[in-house]
Amino acid sequence: MAKSISIFCKILSSHQVYVCKETLNFIKTEVKRIKEQVISLAPTKISINDMEVSVKPTLIFCMIDGKICDAVAGCESTQTCYLYGANPSEMNYERIIMQKTVNRDLLSLGLSLLHTWIRLFECILHLSYRLEIKSWQARGAENKNKVTEKKKNKSKRSSRVS
């Protein structure tokens, strides 16, 4: 099975191109460097009709992919919510989730709306495969076969529609 995460990254910044392995250490170093560059941005001053206008740039480090988000947040698993720190086994329990606090420093990372919609529909599709077995994970040969059949039927139907 092919990995969905790219093995190498290419970053174009400050007239430099890096081709290297995308490691946790490299990600943290680049995020720190970019944030330092943002902080050091100087205001732009313009004179219009004897009036000086100063525009101070405010850039927010956002719209980044999940791997970068997890690295910045210090999450070890891609399935852990970087805002709450909740893992999949806790997400079905409202009592546990309500006791967790949001890491407000990480809210600036933002959420890509397209990514959010894609993940939502992936989750709905994933649940639809498991409606018959009433479990998030298909354990046992019988349950695995039921889920596999459901996936085959859905993919056959969707190919007929398009």
CB 109 within 8 A of CB 82: yes
User: What pLDDT tens digit does each residue of the chain (162 aa) get?
Assistant: 344 344 444 444 555 667 778 888 888 888 888 888 888 889 999 998 999 999 998 887 777 777 888 888 888 888 888 888 888 888 888 899 899 998 888 887 876 666 678 778 888 888 887 777 777 677 788 888 888 888 887 766 655 555
E strands, 39-157, where? 44-48, 51-55
Domain extents for the chain?
20-110, 112-161
- Backbone torsions φ then ψ of 130, nearest 5 degrees: -105, 10
Cα distances (Å, whole numbers) of residue 1 to 4, 5:
9, 12
Q: Using an 8 Å Cβ cutoff, are 91 and 44 in contact? A: no
Q: What type of residue is 63?
A: M
Would you mind telling me the total number of residues written for the chain in this entry? 162
User: What confidence tens digit (pLDDT) does each residue in 56-70 have?
Assistant: 988 877 777 778 888
> Using CA atoms, how far apart are residues 110 and 65, in angstroms rounded to an integer?
10
pTM for the model:
0.53
Amino acid identity, position 34: I
